[in-house]
A and B are shown apart, each in its own frame.
Chain A
Amino acid sequence: MKASNEPALGFLLPSVVFVFVFSLYPIIESFRLSFYRMILTLPWLGERFVAWENYADLMTDPVALKSLTTSVIFVAITTPVEVILGTAVALVLNESFRGRGWLRAIVLVPWAVPTVVSSQMWRFIFNDRYGLFNFLLFGDAVHRYWAPLAEPGLALMSIMVADVWKTSSFAALIVLAGLQGIPKELYEAASIDGAGAWQKFRHITLPLLKPALFLALLFRTIDALKVFDLVFVMTQGGPADTTNVLQFYGYKKSFAEGMIGYGSTIAVAVFLVSLLLSIVYIRLLGTRLLGKEGGA
């Protein structure tokens, strides 16, 4: 038994090293730095250990708290919308019809386009003078054109639209995989029992799809909490700081202002919030869900 394990360890080693170097080490290093005060542009202040001071600052930093709220709103709205839209798309793609292969490929295009490129595209779409958004809404009545990226009340929503467009297909992909795992026999049996399309969806598809939906929700939540590129390209946090999500604020602190310690503290906060949300999800949905399935 033991002897047969040894080659396996050898095979595992590269990925273990990879995970350690590129995932674990940066996380540990961020934790370490978050206990220091270190400002790159003021090297004479040195690298001073300040224990929990950065965390205390973070708790009382109104900009950080507002950024956290912005991030939470972003997650709370985009994630469910993406999973619902993704499910709808997946249901369509799961049917067999002519051109399904093509459609599946097309649906994935938004996900495949680099976010920086699609963000730039959405910036053009939302332009207040030549944007497609305004043209579709108002046609030639240019005096009625809106400037979504300039309005404190609309900018975050515009970014959410861009995010939903881009990542719904990712949710669709996961849900589609879940759909394909549902045995056909169940539907056939339901048909014989006289169940309609809605009843089949309600009592077969949805319950069996729960693990996939949960997975899509979890992935999207963690990802949405880390949203950065959309904000960087489309608004740079403005107007009136309304799109300054926590991750972007941390980036500004670390990379523009050189406040390495405080920036790391924000990164750790983002990490802890996603960890917390993941645990809540797994507790609320995961075990109950798995337990139910196991019992059934």
Chain B
Amino acid sequence: MNTIFVLFFVFFIAPMADAQTQLRFVTWKSEADAVWKQIVGEFEASHSGVEIVREVGPHSSTEFHDLVTQKLRNRDPQMDVFFMDVVWPAEFAAAGWALPLDDFFSAERQKEFLRAPIEADSYHGRIYGVPVFVDAGMLYFRKDLLEKYHLAPPRAWPDLVRQAKLIQTRERDPYLTGYSAQFKQYEGLICNMMEFILSNGATLWDEPALRGTLHLAAAKEAVRFVRDQIVGAISHRGVLAYQEPESLAMFTQGKAVFHRNWPYAWEIANDPARSKVAGKVGIVPLPAFSGHQSAATLGGWQLGISRFSRNTRLAWQFVDFMTSSETQKRIALYTGRAPARKALHRDPDILKKNPQFRSQYETFLRAAPRPVTPVYQPLSNIMQRYFSSAIAIPDSDIDQLAQSASRDMDRVLDLLRARGGP
């Protein structure tokens, strides 16, 4: 009799008590996991009876995308709130996966955030995500090495190559790489290559005209530069397999002169416990080709709510908490991520801890979003294939590869011409 009672309790009563208050949050593995855990814990503390289940996915954006979309495709109610990379909202909105947030997140409140991520979160006049932090590609450099050889931080890509070569020769360190960045075949490759292409006055594709543009001369020239001057010259071939963590490790080990990364790397590169070059790091906007403007790829992460969530009101309370001024300030202070709220870029505490944000604000304002489209993933895979083939094979036929990449992109973009409605 007792057993039956216990079983009844275990299977019926106990889950009921739980079910009312569980909210599932799908997030990725962070370098500062403890901070995120603590923030989530505070939400639980201030909302008695609410339990946030953190489901931690892979660090790589590409792999994290596969995880989140699998849940959405299966209409999984076991996911309420999730992180979105800046290029996903259009896709999630078009597929009917992300909940439009206009009822909660008014145009008035949207104005408190930087314009670029808000635009990335909007699709056909509605808003689908709330920006948590923004990213933009930055150039990190070894201040001590540049000073030693009386060099100013490079403003042009050829200067960067020249300086790297000079330092590599003079330092006589076979291990020292000139430029450590993300050239593996994955989404990060698009961000890196886009910065070279845009800073040569070209584009990835022409979104209004729905036409590929990678076969145009300026785009090919930038790709050729990466193949011949960066990968084939000042960087180790290993960068062709690097994502952010590997490329950053090379820099923090003191084995790279220049390093391209997002703002979070500042915190790690200057932490003596994790970096051999703490205090010897400088940061400036990425270089450009002559006659053109420097370009930084807009990155960053948003919180979205699943359309299949059964508790959207509580989900919104959580999103609201996670994107509040207080939370973003803590994220900025303890993880080095740049806040998506404009006002925080003038916050004295944040600027004291992260003085680099002051000079980066301009970069954040100007950061270039990847074009907003629901077919971003197929386009990205075509570009990843093209860029990787073009730069990893020393004698690649860039003209021919670019031509066929552009043509393939045209075919994908053509799908949008037949659009019936959003």
Contact = CB atoms under 8 A, between A and B. Distances in A.
A239 B243 CA distance: 13
Given A43-B94, A142-B175, A150-B238, A241 B385 contact: yes
A42 B396 CA distance: 34
A237 B185 contact: yes
Interface string B363-397: 00000000000110110010011001100110010
A238 B175 contact: no
A143 B173 CA distance: 9
A44 B250 CA distance: 46
Contact of A128 (B66, B174, B238, B416): B238
Contacts of A256: 62, 65-66, 69, 377, 381
Contacts of B422: 44
Chain A residues touching B, majority SS: loop
A205 B119 CA distance: 71
Contacts of A62: 404
B393 A240 contact: yes
A150 B94 contact: no
Contacts of B186: 236, 238
A152 interface: yes
A41 B65 CA distance: 13
Nearest to A62: B404
Nearest to B418: A45
A256 to B, nearest CB: 5
A236 B185 contact: yes
B89 to A, nearest CB: 12
Given A235-B241, A239-B185, A45 B415 contact: yes
B66 A39 contact: no
Interface string A30-67: 00000000011111110000000000000000110000
A252 interface: yes
A235 B396 CA distance: 20
Contacts of A235: 185, 241
Contact residues on B (Cβ < 8 Å of other chain), bracket: 35 or more
Nearest to A130: B249
Nearest to B70: A255
Nearest to B384: A238
B192 to A, nearest CB: 13
A246 B255 CA distance: 37
Contacts, number: 113
B141 to A, nearest CB: 20
A256 B95 CA distance: 13
B385 A255 contact: no
A259 interface: yes
Given A152-B392, A236-B186, A44 B421 contact: yes
Contacts of B69: 255-256, 258
B184 interface: yes
A150 B240 contact: yes
A237 B387 CA distance: 13
Contacts of B236: 128, 147
A151 interface: yes
B392 A236 contact: no
A141 to B, nearest CB: 9
Contacts of A150: 184, 237-242, 392
A129 interface: yes
A241 B389 contact: yes
A44 B420 contact: yes
Residue in A152, A244, A256 whose Cβ sees the most chain B Cβ within 10 Å: A256
Interface string B149-183: 00000000000000000000000001100000000
A134 to B, nearest CB: 10
A258 B186 CA distance: 17
A172 interface: no
B96 interface: yes
A258 B392 contact: no
A152 B175 CA distance: 22
Nearest to A66: B385
A149 interface: yes
Residue in A142, A238, A256 whose Cβ sees the most chain B Cβ within 10 Å: A238
Given A236-B186, A255-B66, 11 more contacts: A40-B95, A41-B91, A42-B415, A42-B416, A44-B422, A235-B185, A238-B240, A239-B241, A240-B389, A256-B69, A258-B91
7 closest A-B pairs by beta carbon, nearest first, are A238-B185, A143-B174, A128-B238, A150-B240, A147-B238, A150-B241, A239-B392
Interface of B: 62-63, 65-66, 69-70, 73, 91, 94-96, 174-175, 184-186, 236-242, 246, 249-250, 255, 374-375, 377-378, 381, 384-385, 388-389, 392-393, 396, 404, 415-416, 418-422
13 contacts: A41-B374, A41-B375, A42-B375, A42-B419, A45-B418, A128-B237, A151-B237, A236-B62, A236-B186, A241-B185, A244-B385, A257-B381, A258-B73
